[in-house]
Amino acid sequence: MRREANVQDEIHTRGVRPSLARSSDLGKKWSPSTLFGPPLKNPVTGFQAVHFVGVSAKGTVIVSGFYNSSGIQTSGEGINWRPNEALIGRRETGAADISWTRYPSGTFLGEQFVEHGVFTRSGRIVLEIWGSAKKSENWQCGVLLTDDDGKTWRYRQVGYAADLALRDKAEEPVGYNEQTLFETQDGQLVSIIRGRQKLARLIDRKPSETYFSRAVSKDGGETWSQPELTNLAGTGATGTGLTLPDGSLLMAARIPHHVKTTWVKPEHANLYGLHLARSFDLGKTWTTERIFQRTPDGITFDNYYNAMNGQFIKLNRNRWMYAFGHFDVKRKIHRMLSFELAWK
């Protein structure tokens, strides 16, 4: 018993298994954190990521994520093939615990990085997923769809570019990966997609830039238009964006590499940060609403990892919060930051 507790404490400390904390005052104070998610199959090398998606119209809590038994690498040759299990959890109204389903590698893709998603007005739930279908292929992005409150899921591809010449390095895959989903006022789904290397440049030049692409579905995610580059520069895509009352789209993205060469005009060109961008034509073109380059206590964002991918959280009808991770290895800071948005 004591040995098991020590193992769990070590897992918690190393950060390979997510934690859960609760707040009843909009994030001012938090409960002590507890381990969250299904047990690790391999507590020594396993890596697990899970996150809340939301609550369905029937009151079912949906949670998504992935598990990799051999850890997770984010750069270098180690990212060329990371087969993993997709994780989807459900807790129906009245149930005490979340019920987890593991989907083995190859169920939807070979690599199955399941992210957030949207609960559409029709009742369909749409989750984002990305990864390589097979070893040596480029990444593709897609969606998982359910019409039975998360009991069963089907995969639909959103974007894939097979050409290996799109890679800057032969051993590193590129392709479409993270997405930001919007449901428009007329029921369309818009996906703003992060791409890598040559796939995500307006022109092939050094220093390189990363630009988002856009795809649209008019049938609830079953079929999608071919992704096309937008003028929105950024790296990292938050799971869902906001469709504002006037029909415009609002998105948060990290300012990319070499910001001096993009259309984004921050106050301090040598700093990175968080870019709030808005589109009035369903994601085809974007303009800057606001750029954050410092924390509330004055710490500068001096690299593009400082302001990590976040999430919009609804507080009431006309008020939202955007919460994101502040990761600063140099200053040994790992915390959450947030700001609120409101409109009349």
Give pTM, 2 decimals. Answer: 0.92
Residue 41 lies in a domain: no
Please measure the distance between the N-terminal and C-terminal CA atoms of the chain and give it in whole angstroms.
Answer: 55
Tokens (6 digits) for 205: 């030049």
Q: What pLDDT was estimated at residue 77?
A: 59
Cα angle for residues 196, 191, 293 (degrees, 5° grid): 65
Cβ(208)–Cβ(233) under 8 Å? Answer: no
Q: What pLDDT was estimated at residue 3?
A: 43
- In this structure, the answer to whether residues 186 and 294 fall within a common structural domain is yes
122 Cβ contact partners less than 8 Å away, ≥ 6 residues apart: 187, 220
- In this structure, the answer to whether residues 86 and 218 fall within a common structural domain is yes
- In this structure, the answer to whether residues 148 and 99 fall within a common structural domain is yes
3-state class (DSSP) for residue 8: helix
Domain range spanning residue 229?
49-342
Spatial separation of the C-alpha atoms in residues 151 and 43, rounded to whole Å: 28
- In this structure, the answer to whether residues 326 and 234 fall within a common structural domain is yes
- In this structure, the answer to whether residues 183 and 304 fall within a common structural domain is yes
Peptide bond into 173 cis (omega under 30): no
- In this structure, the answer to whether residues 1 and 60 fall within a common structural domain is no
Spatial separation of the C-alpha atoms in residues 315 and 340, rounded to whole Å: 9
Q: What pLDDT was estimated at residue 235?
A: 83
Spatial separation of the C-alpha atoms in residues 22 and 201, rounded to whole Å: 41
Residue 179 lies in a domain: yes
Residue 44 lies in a domain: no
Residue 42 lies in a domain: no
- In this structure, the answer to whether residues 249 and 336 fall within a common structural domain is yes
- In this structure, the answer to whether residues 255 and 282 fall within a common structural domain is yes
- The residue ranges of the chain whose pLDDT is under 50 are 1-5
Spatial separation of the C-alpha atoms in residues 18 and 25, rounded to whole Å: 22
Q: What pLDDT was estimated at residue 4?
A: 45
Spatial separation of the C-alpha atoms in residues 89 and 100, rounded to whole Å: 4
Residue 317 lies in a domain: yes
96 Cβ contact partners less than 8 Å away, ≥ 6 residues apart: none
- In this structure, the answer to whether residues 96 and 5 fall within a common structural domain is no
Cβ(239)–Cβ(253) under 8 Å? Answer: no
Please, what sign has the CA dihedral across residues 16, 21, 27, 31? negative
Residue 111 lies in a domain: yes
Residue 100 lies in a domain: yes
- In this structure, the answer to whether residues 300 and 337 fall within a common structural domain is yes
- How many structural domains is the chain composed of? 2
- In this structure, the answer to whether residues 237 and 315 fall within a common structural domain is yes
Residue 43 lies in a domain: no
Phi, psi (5° rounding) for residue 196? Answer: -125, 150
- In this structure, the answer to whether residues 125 and 222 fall within a common structural domain is yes
Cα angle for residues 72, 323, 293 (degrees, 5° grid): 95
Q: What pLDDT was estimated at residue 267?
A: 78
> Residue 173: CA atoms inside 13 Å, Cβ hemisphere, count?
24
CATH number where 171 lies: 2.120.10.10
